[in-house]
Amino acid sequence: MDLTTNESTPTSRELILLSARREIDQNGILGLRVASVAEGAHCSITQIYRFFGDRDGLLAQVLGDLYEESVTAAFVGYRQIIEAKQPLTIDDLVDALPLPSNSMLMKNQAIRSQILAAAVNNQKLHTRLEQITQRMWHMWVEAVEHTKPMMAPGQNVDWRVFTIMLSVQSLHYRTFLGDVGFTDDEYRQFLRDKFRLS
Amino acid sequence: MDLTTNESTPTSRELILLSARREIDQNGILGLRVASVAEGAHCSITQIYRFFGDRDGLLAQVLGDLYEESVTAAFVGYRQIIEAKQPLTIDDLVDALPLPSNSMLMKNQAIRSQILAAAVNNQKLHTRLEQITQRMWHMWVEAVEHTKPMMAPGQNVDWRVFTIMLSVQSLHYRTFLGDVGFTDDEYRQFLRDKFRLS
């Protein structure tokens, strides 16, 4: 990006969103203060409200963006691994999924829990999450249709593992299980067995 | 409970916890203000800090209690349905699980997301959730051992559906899928198929 041209200079709106991101990185999602965002963007609170209506509107934009990035990254990551290999086996599908020991994944799951929580009393954010989740659902359904002809002969897959099991899975709970919970290997073996259509 | 005897009069500590519960019921989990809790309990903020150390300590107690009630209720509900019937089939196991259309369940899932989110930056609450989740895990493992001999002949169950799939399931995500997501019947059929050991 060339920052010397006028076209690529961030607008006020973009500066506000960048400032909100920085605030979230530093102080977490739940306590986001509009005054701090304004300070970081060198603008007034009034200006933030002009763009986003109110604090809920700002959060709907910023947290909605974060949520979209998180679910999109999961989808793109999966697609990239799958596309690189043909024909596909069930083991390949399992290998394309992140494991509980992955610290980036777990950080991401914690962020998602916070976004879900913020949406409980923020109708604008709730609506945005609905739109994103439903669009992502359609993308997974399309990806499944795209992947079906790529499977090796005899690999009969239960695709509902994506659309019913993984779509409502929160590995954030795994954090609290510590050494008590299932291992990466047990998780992989379980997925392998559940993908296999009996 | 007999409120006329001295033994059953709530202590200051209990009054604080009751006030915090009322605050949460009225204003949600995330914005809980210690000053409001003090006002509702007719005590000083200093007194709250004497019992719970700080705001994090108060939240660790109140939200930890809520989390414990939520996961315990799920466990007890399951056990009661299972105990009432013998010998058990896989259909009985599935029938003992709540469905996405259950509004009480979904409200509970939203509360859990908020508790998980609050624990991200509250180490005391995080530690408490670890203790509760791990204790609950052991109870489920025991319940599985208890249920095994109760199964009808030929009903070969994949018990990992409890310990790997359902233990990290958040049906809160289902809320955002609206009409797009799986139905109760599809969910039940999926569970039936995944419980069946191939």
Q: What is the DSSP string of A95-152?
A: HTSPPTT-HHHHHHHHHHHHHHHHHTT-HHHHHHHHHHHHHHHHHHHHHHHHHGGGBP
Name chain A contacts of B193, Cβ cutoff 8 Å.
158, 198
Q: Return the DSSP state at B14.
A: H
Q: How many CB atoms are located within 10 Å of the residue A131 CB?
A: 12
Give the gap in angstroms from C-alpha A49 to the nearest C-alpha of chain B: 21
Q: Does any CB of chain A come closer than 8 Å to the CB of residue B103?
A: no
Residue A124's pLDDT is what?
A: 97
**How close A75 comes to chain B (CA, Å)?**
16
Nearest CA to A130 among A58, A197, A59, A67?
A67
Cβ-based contacts under 8 A for chains A and B: 131
Whether the Cβ atoms of residue A143 and residue B162 lie closer than 8 Å to each other: no
From B174, B178, B196, residue closest to A198, measured CB to CB: B196
The verdict on a CB contact (< 8 Å) between A181 and B137 is yes
B132, B176, B198, best to mutate vs chain A, most A CBs in 10 Å:
B176
- Using the beta-carbon criterion (under 8 Å), do B28 and A172 form an inter-chain contact? no
CA distance A114 to chain B (A): 4
* Closest CA in chain B for residue A121: B28
Q: Do A160 and B190 touch (CB under 8 A)?
A: yes
Q: Do B194 and A165 touch (CB under 8 A)?
A: yes
Q: Is cis: bond before B10, omega within 30 of 0?
A: no
The answer to whether residue B116 neighbours chain A at the CB level (below 8 Å) is yes
Q: pTM for the whole thing?
A: 0.92
Q: What is the C-alpha separation between A141 and A162, in angstroms, rounded?
A: 9
CB contact, 8 Å: B192 with chain A? Answer: no
The answer to whether the complex's ipTM is over 0.85 is yes
Instruction: Verify whether the Cβ–Cβ distance A178 to B134 is below 8 Å.
Output: yes
User: Residue B196 pairs with which residues in a beta bridge?
Assistant: B157
Structure tokens that stand for A192 in this block: 């392998």
Residues of chain B with confidence (pLDDT) below 70: 1-8
- Nearest residue in chain A measured CA to CA from B188: A164
| Angle, in degrees to the nearest 10, between helices A12-27 and A45-52 | 100
Question: Minimal Cα–Cα distance from A174 to chain B, Å?
Answer: 6
User: Which residue in the block uniquely carries the two structure tokens 């349905």?
Assistant: B81
pLDDT, tens digit only, all 198 positions of chain A: 444 445 567 789 999 999 999 999 888 888 889 999 999 999 999 999 999 999 999 999 999 999 999 999 999 999 999 999 889 999 999 999 999 999 999 999 999 999 999 999 999 999 999 999 999 999 999 999 999 999 999 999 999 999 999 999 999 999 999 999 999 999 999 999 999 997
B138 interaction partners in chain A (CB closer than 8 Å): 180
Radius of gyration over every alpha carbon of chain B, rounded to an integer in angstroms: 20
> Does A186 touch chain B if contact means CB atoms closer than 8 Å?
yes
Chain B residues in contact with A116 by the CB 8 A cut-off are 110, 113, 117, 170, 172-173
Q: Residue A169: helix, strand or coil by DSSP?
A: strand
Per the listing, tokens 């419980």 go with B195
Q: What residue of B is the nearest CA neighbor of A28?
A: B121
What DSSP assignment string belongs to B71-117?
Answer: HHHHHHHHHHHHHTSSSB-HHHHHHTSPPTT-HHHHHHHHHHHHHHH
Which of B117, B186, B194 minimises the CB distance to A113?
B117
136-165 of A, contacting B, C-beta below 8 A: 137-138, 158, 160, 163-165
- Measured CA to CA, the distance from residue B37 to residue B60 in angstroms comes to 14
Chain B (6-65) residues lying within 8 Å, Cβ to Cβ, of chain A: 28-30
* A185 part of contact set with chain B, CB < 8 Å: no
In angstroms, the separation between the Cα of residue B73 and the nearest Cα of chain A is 17
